[in-house]
A and B are shown apart, each in its own frame.
Chain A
């Protein structure tokens, strides 16, 4: 069963990468800037995993994915700042809120044909942005929602506990959440649930004739993906200590699609590779901001035309090409 084997290799690859990432603060102990970048990579990778489950494994194109990150972000901000909750209680509630929103939007939206579904996700994302931007009483409007705290210190590891005001500790926190989300992705993909999702992606009608309740599965993955996006949103606003509508607008939703596709849609390591490329590479190459998106647009176009499996799918693509070339030569 060679796909199960591929699955394991994907997992191994991700774990190795994850292990390396864990060592980063020790290596970069005097470079807060790079630690900052690494945290941002995690903050993008997490919603990317949510979208990967939806787009990469189930074939659902959502143009409003970051709106759910926004729901998670603002619910957490409101609970922490207005209601005085601790991060550790606000975060799960925010994640569940985003997931529930996903289910509520998903139930009517997923009944629609693909074209219409895509448009609905676009419309929903734009409505949510309008609300975040204009409902000043609740969201503080376009200026953003300031004063979002870092997580409360954890009561172990020394007399003062582990506080998250330092870059290193927040990095470890982000890494922990990222690893957890990738493990979740791995577990779901290799399960019966994941196999059914792939069936839906390849032939939805046939999947239903093989016993898959396609509507329920699609709503479930949409809810899970939205909840995961919500987690990314919570982490972002706690890190930056402010919730801003522009973080969750249409352009961000397009960026997250880019991250998933360039990284490799339908592959376990895809979201991570995509986030590294999207966040890390421009910083590394010191590209001007305007040019960065031009280049990404071009990269996405090239990938879609010539390497639709993305970066994580390169080994598979090359292997297939090689086989085909060998067969032709024989």
Chain B
């Protein structure tokens, strides 16, 4: 049995034991099951299960975390009924009826979710009881402080528990995962405060009025889902369009996609936020869009370009910038990609995005086969980027890209190209148009027999 399987079994058994403990404690605890408590358990149990299965999971700065709102409302309501384990039981029920895991029969995940929700909520409830025990619900200040403390405790414990399996399954560092999940959970905090309102509505106006609060949340969720759907559709549309347009030049197939990926690598190293990362990816995908105006015959010409042809090729950069300027979201990063501008860009003062795309573009160009030369090795490309750092390329972007690729253990360039090329005229190992890299190639890449022959 593998170590991972043993860990999984141990965690599952531990989770089931924890859940059993919570459930048992709830039944043997004093003041347990009055009709009010049972009714509240049914209402909040149903709401929490519905909210969990409707939650919009998005890599956004805010999560539409309806379940957090329900949990905190349960804390307020069961706090009024002095039933300490009520929220934990709601959490347990919520973990049990996660439709996605149930369909896949992922019993270990179900056990873990039940335990982590129940235990996190026990922690949150404890914080609430410490502050608000024996205080009247009419005191909104005390209630707000108590709910805020409960929410912080719940979200913190939830992140601590959930980070374990995520770190193990993804092979990531626990602290790194914990930081990410905590950052995500911060977005759910306003919804936790809203739980205070829901709890108040339930206690003061009755369960029948609860839908009045749930409806606007559902509407916000539905609109956010429309946004995510349109965003995914738009991204797919742009990628498909670019793929189709790249057909103009078979040598650059997949180029925009790879430049977008490399740009994202650099953006992640420079700790870009989600929105800025989105813009960077989009701009990188579109960076060569001006190539649309270059005739196919010129793009696919294997030999040297005439001066007039070269001018038409050069014009594509201007057209790219002009087209990007027409899109408000991209206009701020559709800056000057000339060497001077790219080198001078410093994050925080000038927008560094064009410099990132410039480096990513150059790296992909060097590690891909073009009509005028075959792909260079990754080492050669790295050496060229390092040589040009501070003069031709932005040094911070170069360091970030190289560090990111090395950390991932990825390999690009000669011998590692994904796409198989079929060409009428085979490109040379190095060519006159190889972006000034002829000297590197002639020293490093020309096969020995050729070198000996010459």
Q: Tell me whether A and B are bound partners.
A: no
Q: Which B positions have Cβ atoms within 8 angstroms of A?
A: none
